Amino acid sequence: MPNTLAPITDEDAYLRALNQARSAAAAYHGGGDSQMDDAAYDRLIDAITAYEQKHPDQRAADSPTTLVAAGALPEGSVVHATPMLSLDNVFDAEELARWAQSLGKRLGGVPRGFHAGPKIDGLAVAAHYREGRLVQLVTRGTGTTGEDVSHAIGTIDGLPVELDTPVSVEVRGEVVLLQSRFEEANRIRVAHGEDPFSNPRNAASGSLRATGRGYTIPLSFYGYGLLSAANGETGRLIREEMTHTELMKALGSLGVQTVDDTPVGTLTSPLIKDIQAYVGRVATQRADLPVGIDGIVIKADHPQDQAVAGSGSRAPRWAIAYKLPSLEVISTLAAVTWTTGRTGNIAPRGEVLPVEIEGVTVQFATLHNPGMIARLGLRIGDRVVVRRAGDVIPQILAPVTSARTGQEKPIELPTVCPGCGGEIDMSQERWRCLKGRACNLPASITYAVQRDVLDIQGIGPKIVAQLVAQEAVQDVADLFTLTLGQLTEATGSEKTATKILDRLAAAKQQSLARVLCALGVRGTGRSMSRRIADFFFSMSAIQAASAAELRQVEGIGAEKSAWVIAELAELEPVIAKLAAAGVNLVEPQKSAPAADTSGSGQGAGAALPLAEMTVVATGTMTGRLERLSRNDIHELIEKAGGRSGSSVSKNTSLVVAGDKAGSKRTKAEQLGVRVIGPDEFAQMVSAYL
């Protein structure tokens, strides 16, 4: 169960809770900005339900626990021939099992099967087709009547104007704004002088209802139901004995996008334990889905089971929603701080009142850049939607403008660099100190010498600070021309200085990938530097590459390719100094070992052992891998032909799980991804160790 509110103890508190729930539901279902996030709303409804169970004589006739959309919406202009009901909720495996047992009792035996699919977090609609042509689009509304939004016909991806078969049917599903389109939708909206959407669901709901706008927000549709039309025949498309699984296949055959088309697909099984396993798999992939989901819908698959179980006034008894923990919560933006990074970028960070998301307490969230702050019109004191998905740093999506009290204050944008007090280049959306890397030179050099980059042991932050203070180092290339005297002055020891000189000499032979990483090109890191080096093989080729050529490297798009070209032009004098100092600027091309001396069969011309594989390493490595840093492991994976991944998904080929592997191992097992230990992996790539 979700965290509960303090119990409602008297009728006055109960009535206040009802009003609060109705207000939140009206905003949620009506396309406005709800000041309550999903988790808080679920806790409120849970508290109301608990009170009503203890005091049934006090339960309001219009309680939100008994009405579709909590009874918050007015009657619509279109009557649904078959009511569009809500769903009751469960929150864990135990509650799901109890629901399945209760369903079995209603049926007088075990259900013939279950169908499970993602619960799309959008706006429920009914699409009416007559002889294959979409003639009317209606919102769910009160469940018995809905609002006519036929003006949106022809503007929604996945909901065709004409079906592949000329039948008369009613298609039910959710209209959504894809996660990838949310930021662009807010750009469009703000450009037209309107408040930003607070989240993708709000954007979908408001955009579907809107008329007379001078712009269009691109929406999508995912179908979950197919009914016979009230005003036409379906021919042989729909039969009374069809299961829900068969109906979904029929719906997809018409050319409609359905929940089957999401990356997680759907599952049909006679066993509730299989459904619970599916829930676990969906939960692990949820953060990577293109469409927002807030749970999984489980239904009795057979029509006779559905008929026997029946429905209540608000929800069917043969279906349930397994709610997942919310990825989005509402908090208050308390402050914004500005820092200058090692490449000179100036970044804002939002401080929010502590809030829990998926069991993690969040106090800070990224605001990306000043352009985003201005575009969203964010203010200190705003109620804001904060999203945390998987391993991604929490981010502030948008303000809840309807919650403003007038006490909010503008966010002060920096007029000078917060690091050095110098001028700022504000020509791009990401602001940067005009001094670039020189602004925070100690951080830039400290990053370059660390073990996972140039691996120059003995030069720590204190020594870097001394070298910068005595102006012995003004960029990464100056490291390789340091003298014994300069190092002795910085370290206070000639013996230490001599050791560092030896390590600097060895560092000249580091791979091109590590040298490129040490330069600190914006938009690249260790993994991206390896991909670029593996693609071009020499620094001169990278410098000569066009934007189109750079975009052939996985993970580089139009924006990042432009950054790389501009950054390499800026760094040209530093690269020239590296070459003059004898630093390696060539990457040997990947190949299998030249000769097979181990009996492993990996001789000349043999295929790379990890070719075409995405490999994730997690936990503490042991055995032959124990001495390797995390970056060393990544390099080993890529030398053996694989791609190093940071998170587990259905596209992961292999997980190397060391001690205390934790959630990534669990996720891999749930997805059916192969998991091996460090010793087995070391054997696989032994020729590259």
Q: Angle at the Cα of 611 (from 605 to 615), degrees rounded to 5?
A: 145
Dist. CA 504–CA 439, nearest whole Å: 24
Burial bucket for residue 597 (CB in 10 Å: 0-12, 13-18, 19+): exposed
CA 299-301-305 angle, to 5 degrees, is 95
And the tokens for 407? 């006490």
424 beta partners: 433
CB 475, CB 439: distance < 8 Å: no
Spatial contact of 222 and 173, defined as CB atoms under 8 Å apart: yes
What tokens does 475 get? 């960029």
325 neighbors 151 (Cβ within 8 angstroms) = no
Polymer length of the chain: 689
Cα–Cα dist 95/88, whole Å: 11
Characterise 607 by phi-psi region: left (phi > 0), alpha (psi -120 to 50), beta (else). Answer: beta
Catalytic residue list contains 119: yes
Q: Pick the catalytic residue from 54, 119, 409, 462.
A: 119
Only one residue has tokens 């969203």, namely 376
Q: Are strands 674-676 and 654-657 parallel, antiparallel or unpaired?
A: parallel
Q: Which of these, 524, 527, 586, lies nearest to 561 by C-alpha position? A: 524
DSSP letter (8 states) at residue 539: H
Query: 338, 417 in Cβ contact below 8 A?
Result: no
Token couple for 9? 């103890």
Parallel, antiparallel, or unpaired for β 267-269 and 219-228? unpaired
Q: How far is CA 295 from CA 31, 41, 117, 122, 503, in A?
A: 20, 15, 9, 12, 54
Q: What are the C-alpha distances in Å from 15 to residues 10, 74, 528, 566?
A: 9, 20, 57, 62
Whose tokens are 């008329």? That residue is: 211
Burial pattern 149-172, b for ≥16 Cβ within 10 A else e, equals beebeeebebbbeebebebbbbbb
Q: Which residues have a Cβ under 8 Å from the Cβ of 247 and sit 6 or more positions away?
A: 225, 226, 238
CA distance 330 to 343: 32
Query: What is the rounded CA–CA span in Å between residue 509 and residue 503?
Result: 10
CB count, 10 Å around CB of 429?
Answer: 13
348 and 369 in contact (C-beta within 8 Å)?
yes
How many Cα atoms are found within 13 Å in the side-chain-facing hemisphere of 639? 17
Angle between helices 494-507 and 484-491 (to 10 degrees): 120
State how far the Cα of 664 lies from the Cα of 652, in Å rounded to an integer.
11
Contacts of residue 295, defined as CB under 8 A and 6 or more positions apart, other chains included, come to 89, 118, 119, 321, 322, 323, 324
Helix and strand numbers (H, E) in the chain are: 22, 25
Q: How many angstroms separate the first and last alpha carbons of the chain?
A: 48
Structure tokens at 575: 């690269």
Q: Is 492 exposed, middle or buried (CB count within 10 Å of its CB: 0-12, 13-18, 19+)?
A: exposed
Give the catalytic positions in this structure: 119
